[in-house]
Amino acid sequence: MAGKPTVSISVIRRLPRYYRFLGELSKAGINRISSRELSERMGLTASQIRQDLNCFGGFGQQGYGYNVASLREEIAKILGLDKKLNTILIGVGNLGKAILSHLDFGQRGFNLTAVFDNNPKLVGTAIAGLTIKDTDQLVPFCMSHPTDVAILTIPKAAAESLSERLIQCGIRCFWNFSHYDFALHYDDVVVENVHLTDSLMTLGYRVNEHLRANRPDSED
């Protein structure tokens, strides 16, 4: 029997955007919307939206469009927002603090259970309702508290040195800000890499291309 078709990562990356736009529509009191209207708001084609949603069953009705609240609920289920994945964060520097301060993990399907750092000045202090633990306690904690996901807001070298301990603890899923490439060293891992500097350089390229395209021809 053929397995379930794999949904492309490009489609999956668009789902949070659908979820966000549908939330804005709901707040504005809009109860239903067509793929054409949604495409105009999102800057996608109506065909693209239908193709994306058809990967998961479609959800629309011909002549009616999409029920905004129902579609948002279905996308929430697809994204696993109704789950509670036990999650730890390692590295409570500036980036780690910003993530802990501004993200509502519980609303996104993640149950933040512990945070770790090796800075003695931070260990024992509180953040996001949790007491920061020393990274020396990482293995004992994970052995007694099953952990699904590790968020790494630490330097690449630190992630490399911790990787074996994390894998041995049974952690196979990472939100990785460290630039350490788990996929090169370990099989059967799920990694979402976030490279802020890469994103900034990509922006730089796009800005320069935009400026070149819109720069008036210079006169000799």
Q: How confident is the model at residue 184 (pLDDT cuts 50, 70, 90)?
A: confident
Read off the DSSP letter of residue 61: B
Q: How confident is the model at residue 87 (pLDDT cuts 50, 70, 90)?
A: very high
Residue 117 · residue 123 · CB < 8 Å: yes
Q: How confident is the model at residue 84 (pLDDT cuts 50, 70, 90)?
A: very high
Assigned fold of 9-77: Arc Repressor Mutant, subunit A (1.10.10)
CA atoms within 13 A on the CB side of 22: 23
User: Pairing state of beta strands 133-134 and 110-117?
Assistant: parallel
Q: What is the pLDDT of residues 92-145, one digit of tens each?
A: 999 999 999 999 999 999 999 999 999 999 999 999 999 999 999 999 999 999
Q: Do domains 9-77 and 85-198 have the same CATH topology?
A: no
pLDDT at 157 over 80: yes
Percent with pLDDT over 90 in the chain? 84
Residue 172 · residue 190 · CB < 8 Å: yes
Q: What pLDDT, on a 0 to 100 scale, did the predictor assign at position 65?
A: 86
> Residue 190 — φ and ψ, nearest 5°?
-115, 120
- Residue ranges per domain, the chain? 9-77, 85-198
Which one has a higher pLDDT value, 217 or 212?
212
CB count within 10 Å of CB 193 equals 16
Q: How confident is the model at residue 5 (pLDDT cuts 50, 70, 90)?
A: low
Region 137-163: what's the mean pLDDT?
A: 95
Sequence-distant contacts of 46-55: CB under 8 A, at least 24 apart: 49/18, 52/11, 52/14, 52/15, 52/18, 53/18, 55/5, 55/7, 55/11
Domain 85-198 architecture = 3-Layer(aba) Sandwich (3.40)
Region 189-217: what's the mean pLDDT?
A: 91
